[in-house]
Each structure stands twice: as structure tokens, then as C-alpha cells.
């Protein structure tokens, strides 16, 4: 897990069915190299400019979203107050 800042939404014309109805956001780490951006699936309602807790491990997205197959690497798990 790591702290990241939400930079903006990701818009796709075609995406894997596992992403249907799930907001995807571009995030950048607070501590780390500038330009290390990732796409993360949000399930806590984060917005642009929020500092979030992001991360994930193999199989976590499958359990969280109750999916058979989930090609999701990074999840936004919490918003830092």
C-alpha cells in the first residue's frame, strides 16, 4: 500500500467487463518518482486532488468485487482526511 494523489478520471471507449460500473482514476505516488502514474479502480468515492491509500495484491480485486476474473492491479482503498 502507498499514498497517492488522484490526478483525474480515465475514460475508455472499450474496456474489460470487470471494469463495468467502476470508476477508474489516474493516480501518482506522493513519495516516489514523479511520472510513476498508475490507473486505479476506485471503490471509495475519491475525487480529483484527494490523497488516497492505494495498492493491491493478487486476487484482492476478485474478492472485493466478487468477480471470477479481475485484471485489476491497483485499487483505491481509502481517502486520507
**pLDDT recorded at residue 67:** 75
Q: Supply the CATH number for residue 11's domain.
A: 2.40.50.220
What is the pLDDT averaged over residues 19-36? 86
Residue 11's CB is within 10 A of a number of other CB atoms, namely 7
Total-model pTM: 0.83
Tally of domains in the chain: 1
Structural domain range at position 62? 2-79
What is the pLDDT averaged over residues 50-62? 81
Q: For residue 66, what pLDDT band results from cuts at 50, 70 and 90?
A: confident
Amino acid at each position: 500500500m502507498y499514498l497517492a494523489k488522484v490526478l483525474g478520471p480515465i475514460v475508455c471507449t472499450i474496456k474489460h467487463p470487470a471494469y463495468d460500473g467502476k470508476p477508474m482514476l489516474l493516480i501518482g505516488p506522493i513519495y516516489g518518482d514523479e511520472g510513476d502514474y498508475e490507473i486505479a479502480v476506485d471503490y471509495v468515492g475519491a475525487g480529483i486532488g484527494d490523497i488516497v491509500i492505494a495498492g493491491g495484491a493478487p486476487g484482492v480485486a476478485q474478492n472485493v468485487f466478487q468477480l471470477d476474473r479481475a485484471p485489476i492491479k491497483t485499487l483505491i482503498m481509502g481517502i486520507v482526511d
